[in-house]
Structure 1
Amino acid sequence: MRMKKHLSVSVGHCSSAGRKPVNQDFHGLLIPKEPLLSTKGIAVAIADGISSSDVSQIASETAIKGFLSDYYCTSDSWSVKTSAQRVLKATNSWLYSQTRNGPYRYNMDKGYICTFSAIIFKSNTAHLFHSGDSRIYRLVGSRLEQLTTDHRRIISEETSYLTRGLGIHDDLEIDYRSHAIETGDIYILATDGIFEYLNERTIAEAIVQNESTESGVADVRLAEVAERLVQAAYDAGSDDNLTLQIVRVDQLPDRDLNEVHQQANLLPAPPPLSARMLFDGYEILREIYISSRSHVFLAEDTETGETVVIKTPSAEMRSNEAYLENFFMEEWIAKRINNAHVLKAIEPQRKRHYLYTVTEYLDGKTLAQWMIDNPAPSIDEVRDIVDQIAKGLQAFHRQEMVHQDLRPHNVMIDAAGTVKIIDFGATKVAGISEIVSKNEALVGTAQYTAPEYFLGYAGTSRSDVFSLGVMTYQMLSGELPYGVSVSRTSTAREQQGLRYRSLTTMDNAIPGWLDFAISKAVHIDPMKRYSEAAEFIYELRHPNPRYLSQTRAPLIERNPTLFWQGVSFILLCVVVWQGTL
């Protein structure tokens, strides 16, 4: 059995106050254990306080410690970029407020300000974040490649100032870039006390020489190199704090492994299930449905008495690794979304011995069945359902998840009228997409799939809004806004030829402004749709000002009295003018 590979790095670092009484630099590294190693990666960061401030060392320390602790507390469904940027913006706001509430509120040079540079190694990618003039380099052959841009404006040899950094402005601007990494790659993080007194060639030669003396450099060897380079910068006359970090990538993880995939491989397939059978602490009550992909049963927890739904893979799919990965991904997603309008996963209190998932039981019907039972619903009924679906969608989007298969069969309405999204098999999770390399295939159901998917583009929250708009249109009309034409297109030109059929041509009771909102939600161009489901919901209840300005009735219809008064005044002016001739 092949052992799983984990991400592994070696790190050497050194920091010194140098000729200054206080070290205003700060640096840090965090290599977590699994599962955080896979879901969040390894973080290394460096910060440099400004010499004009007596408190900037507090800013540096706060920035690094806060980043390394808070980043690992963010949702593991978020991408690295989103997680890091949100943490850094929160830290920036705190530093800025400390200065504004202190004695130097009008002199930012005395405030809580520092530079910041960080690398997060996750899976096979390095994610770089940078603000200020500390630097990140990569060793390329026998030379250094600077990967960051200095955010410093130089007025003269004696005068310069930071244009960016943490704590300078209320709104943080931070550079971000990412690129693929390979085993053996070496990265260097340094403050200006190092690189202003040692040229890049000197730094590169010291590292290359160390590499040639011992293959597979350990942390202690890199630490010795860092110490020698810090001393060399000091000997070269550096009058600033000196901090250097050297990171070597020793091993990369397998691209197709993650915690969900491991779970699918470790558990055996369940036995055939049937009514009144005891299974892993549950009593099977009855079959709900059987398909070629999965078997779903109603069951009761023998300990708690709770009624639940158990889902198992079909016999045909038990050897399909991609299917099994998605099978457990649904549960993984459900556990991370706590929303009244999203199906809830039930965490078994006992050890699980087989491949299956457990979710709450919904006593109700699918939206597809509801539409059959209610062929002519009122606008308010439709609004209520769409509003609840949208709230569930927003829960996905806040976690950087795109549902990708929103359709009537994947929405349930329970006996109390609560609407819930129930299927997450096609959901794209930004954080997982960074770990798992997949061949992108068309997802969803053709009638509800956004046009951009048929052109090969990745889905976004706007794609889910399109699906929601199609369902809204269908509930009100029983039809689809473009029929099945969208699924038959494969080029942008073909899609541009599609025409939306207005609901007002089918039902005069539907206000034009409501039809306008739906037409925007299902626009062929994703950039012309609503970016958020909440915007769509708002305009289903409130006419869009743009629509009102386009459809404003003539004055004679809106105010006949004012119209004829105006006409009479104009005629009077004409008569008076002619009388003066």
Structure 2
Amino acid sequence: MQITNGLHIDLASHTQQGLKEINEDAVGFFVPNETRLLDNKGVLLAVADGVSSAEAGKDASATAVTRFINDYYPTPETWSVKHAGQKLLSSINITLFKRSHEFANEEKGYLTTFTGMVIKSRTCHFFHVGDSRAYLLREGELTQLTRDHVASIGTGRTFLARAVGMDNCLQIDYGSVDLETGDILLATSDGIHDFVDEATLVEVLSCQLTEQEKIDKLATLALDGGSDDNISGVIAHITGLPNESLNDYNTKLTRLPFPPPLDPGVMLDGYQVIEELFASSRSQLYLVEDSETGTRVVMKTPSVTFEEDTGYIDRFIQEEWIGKRIHSEYVVKIIEQKRPRTCLYYLMEYVHGVSLDKWMKLNHFPKPKIAISIIEKVAKGLSEFHKMETIHQDLKPANILINQDNEIKIVDFGSVFVAGVAEIFVPLDHEGVLGTATYSDPKYLLGKNTGIQGDLYALATICYELFCGKLPYGDKIEECQTAFEYDRLRYISASDVNPIIPIWFDRTLQRGVAFDLEERYEVIDDFLTDLRNPNPIFLRDDPKAKKNKSQVLFWQLLSGFWILMLILVIAMFKQG
């Protein structure tokens, strides 16, 4: 089929369990419908072979293929194929590695081989881990593009030396080959290539059959040849190529100029600037209107100060990709750019509202039910980051927008850390970002990546401020630069600041903002549970545990809604 400007390609795949009880292989290919994605990203095909000795090999292979296909196309257009593929596979590897280590038995886990190919313009890019294979057939000559990651233990026995999910650091083989019309690309699991010799592969691939008939025939030959494994493969037959190569496309995009400061009325790529919403030394936010649809969105542009800073440019580009991966009603949405960009920027949904720090100045000591609702929504937004092995790292009231209905949106992906994607961990620069230092985990500011516990610290700090109007360690925390200076700080009891706060609620906040990671909650759900329900541990043997009238009122306000709902349910049940 003709799928893009001048590119003609026939694709087919096959997978079956063979003689095994279950099929632990996964195959897939994807052809975008949009010409822009086809030109910028290309066509993708992949095969993965879940390790049979691992309990979750089937899930591992399916995860690798599905995640690679789903996450590849939202990557920034300014990323090269190599850069995008390696980052994605590293991220997938971390996910599977963590799942693997949930099992006490080291023989079980989420392990899989992976071979993927991206056909973009006149080039095939391939990524490989394990003993699945990629081949190229050209004018009757078969070339194995990948090498098997196996090790010999004597007497002809081998074992898999590399797999996705095997280690927290993944070594990925990458290569590329210029394509010619008539080329046939083949990716197989060892259920095929261990039982069908290369001469037979050439014979089948060269015969006058459809690509589907070819891959089906290879599966049959493997089974007839004694294959006792799952049998899977993908074929791509190139029957036409574009006249113009796009190999340098990404390089050109990364050299896009920074837009100048944009005044109201200025038109950029079909977007008219309405007003400047925010400006800092690092970026600008503009409210813009799409001239074609009339839709208003927010345009984020980089600061011209960093035009020569390649690290800054890469992080700015990565922000857009991170935003595309997070899907939550409590996280600002990234808008897909439909027209070619002439400058470096990206688009976000426009949220009507104010930042939470401004909202708190207008709403001192909000009702407990409202405050808890806000914290729960922020926590749900954070959970979507964490599901993607992503840490926000800069959660603060200024990065949370709230509207008149008290609905919230987490914004700003500038400091986000993605496990398996970040080449290095770079803590925030303490100097000049005191607002951030107020809410960020001190361990993080001092150079330690505290992961989910770091986001939890920020969430607990915001919760404390909502109920108390102050910070849990006072304003002096903004001045701290060393571990010694943080050690001198003391937690200020929330019950002392706001007498209606019960001791159990105060101690929940205290544990949430504890500097010691062993004392702090490990997961956000546990923190939320103790905010909603008195933890008996926090009431035991404490003279302050006596509830005064104002504390009883606090609990009544917090739980009254649920009591009312229970009464309504009972009444409806009796009527029924």
TM-score class, shorter-chain normalisation, is: 0.5 to 0.7
Instruction: Please say if 1:274 is aligned against 2:263.
Output: yes
- SS of match in other structure, 2:369: helix
Q: Does 2:376 correspond to 1:387? A: yes
Q: Equivalent of 2:527, from 525, 536, 545?
A: 536
Q: Confirm whether residue 466 of structure 1 aligns to residue 478 of structure 2.
A: no
* Amino acid across the alignment from 2:449: A
SS of structure 1 residue aligned to 2:112: strand
CA RMSD in angstroms, aligned pairs only? 5.3
CA distance in 2, matches of 1:415, 1:116: 45
SS of aligned partner of 1:284: strand
Q: Which of 480, 497, 500 is residue 488 of structure 1 equivalent to?
A: 480
User: Following the alignment from structure 1 to structure 2, what is the Cα–Cα distance between the partners of residues 184 and 366?
Assistant: 44
Alignment coverage as a number of residue pairs: 417
2:539 aligns with 548
8 Å CA contact 1:75, 1:83 repeated in 2: no
Are 1:118 and 2:89 counterparts?
no
> In the alignment, is the contact (CA less than 8 A) between 2:60 and 2:112 conserved in 1?
no
Matching of residues 425-574 of structure 1 within 5 Å: 425-433=414-422, 437-438=423-424, 440-442=426-428, 445-483=436-474, 484-485=476-477, 488=480, 490-491=482-483, 498-551=489-542
Measure how far apart 1:367 and its partner are. 1.2
Cα 1:184–1:372 shift into 2, 3 Å: closer
Note the C-alpha offset of 1:128.
7.6
Q: Determine if contact 2:288/2:296 at 8 Å carries over to the other structure.
A: yes
Residue in structure 1 matching 2:367, options 375, 378, 385: 378
CA distance 1:313–1:518, change in 2 (3 Å):
same
- Code of the residue aligned with 2:456 in structure 1: it is V
Superposed, 1:142-181 pairs within 5 Å as 176-179=166-169, 181=171
Q: Aligned partner of 1:473: which letter?
A: Y
Shift in CA distance, 539/262, structure 1 to aligned 2, threshold 3 Å = farther
Maintained 8 Å contact 1:126/1:179: no
1:81 is displaced (CA, Å) by 3.3
CA distance 1:400–1:261, shift in 2 (3 Å): farther
Tell me whether 1:81 sits opposite 2:93 in the alignment.
yes
- SS of the aligned residue for 1:283 comes to strand
Q: Secondary structure at the match of 1:474?
A: helix
Match of 1:328 among 296, 317, 334: 317
Alignment CA distance shift 1:284-1:84 (3 Å): same
Question: Pick from 405, 412, 436: which aligns with 1:423?
Answer: 412
Bigger radius of gyration among the two: 1
Distance in 2 (CA, whole Å) between partners of 1:442 and 1:423 is 14
Aligned residue type for 2:305:
E
**SS class of match (2:454):** helix
1:119-167 CA distances to partner (integer Å, 9 max, x unpaired)? Answer: 45899999789xxxxx974479xx9996779xxxxxxxxxxxxxxxxxx
Give the drift of 1:41.
11
Q: What is the alpha-carbon distance in structure 2 between the residues aligned to residue 23 and residue 379 of structure 1?
A: 58
**1:45 and 2:35 correspond:** no
Q: Deviations over 1:74-93 (max 9, x none)?
A: 6567832355469999xx9x
Secondary structure of the structure 2 residue equivalent to 1:343? coil
Contact 2:19 2:229 in 1 (8 A): no
Change (3 A) 1:301 1:285: same
Shift of 1:425: 0.5
Q: CA deviation at 1:261?
A: 8.3
- State the shift of 1:66 in Å: 4.5
Distance 1:41 1:319, change over 3 A: farther
Give TM-score, length-normalised by structure 2: 0.58
Q: Structure 1 residues 22, 360: closer, same or farther in 2, change over 3 A?
A: closer
**1:513-537 deviation per Cα after TM superposition (whole angstroms, max 9, x unaligned):** 1111111111112243233323322
TM-score w.r.t. structure 1 length? 0.58
Deviation at 1:322, TM superposition (A): 1.9
Give how far 1:178 is off: 4.6
Match of 1:297 in 2: 286
Q: Which runs of 5+ in 2 are unaligned?
A: 1-17, 31-36, 73-87, 117-124, 132-147, 176-188, 203-225, 232-247, 549-576
Could you say if the C-alpha distance between residues 461 and 181 of structure 1 is closer, same or farther in structure 2, counting changes exceeding 3 Å? closer
Partner SS state of residue 421, structure 2: helix
Q: Distance in 2 between matches of 1:422 and 1:263?
A: 29
- Residue 473 of structure 1 and its aligned partner are, at CA, apart by 1.4
Percentage of identical aligned residues: 28
| CA displacement at 1:291 relative to structure 2 | 2.7
Once the two structures are superposed, what CA deviation does each residue of 1:531-580 show, in whole Å capped at 9, x if it has no partner? Answer: 3323322322211132234449999x9xxxxxxxxxxxxxxxxxxxxxxx
What is the correspondence of 1:219-258 to structure 2 with a 5 Å cutoff?
none
Q: 1:542 to 1:116 in 2, by over 3 A?
A: closer
Aligned to 1:309, what secondary structure does the other structure show? Answer: strand
C-alpha separation between the residues in 2 aligned to 1:146 and 1:325?
38
Q: By how many angstroms is 1:464 displaced?
A: 0.3
- Check the 8 A contact 2:50/2:113 in 1, yes or no: no
Deviation at 1:428, TM superposition (A): 0.9
Q: Distance in 2 between matches of 1:554 and 1:505?
A: 13
**CA–CA separation in structure 1 for the residues paired with 2:455 and 2:53:** 44
Is the Cα–Cα contact under 8 Å of residues 272 and 288 in structure 2 kept in the other structure? yes
Match of 2:389 in 1: 400
Q: Deviations over 1:175-212 (max 9, x none)?
A: 83255649899xxx999xx9xxxxxxxxxxxxxxxxxx
Which AA in structure 1 matches 2:254? Answer: N
**Could you list the runs of 5+ residues in structure 1 that have no partner in the other structure?**
1-20, 51-58, 93-113, 130-134, 150-173, 195-218, 225-238, 245-258, 558-581
CA 1:349 to 1:552, structure 2 compared with 1: closer, same or farther past 3 Å? same
- Equivalent residue for 2:335? 346
Q: Per-residue CA shift, 1:397-426, capped at 9, x if unaligned? A: 112110000111111112332111111100
Structure-1 separation of matches of 2:490 and 2:254: 48
Q: Secondary structure at the match of 1:456?
A: coil
Q: Secondary structure at 2:504's aligned position in 1?
A: helix
Deviation at 1:441, TM superposition (A): 3.3
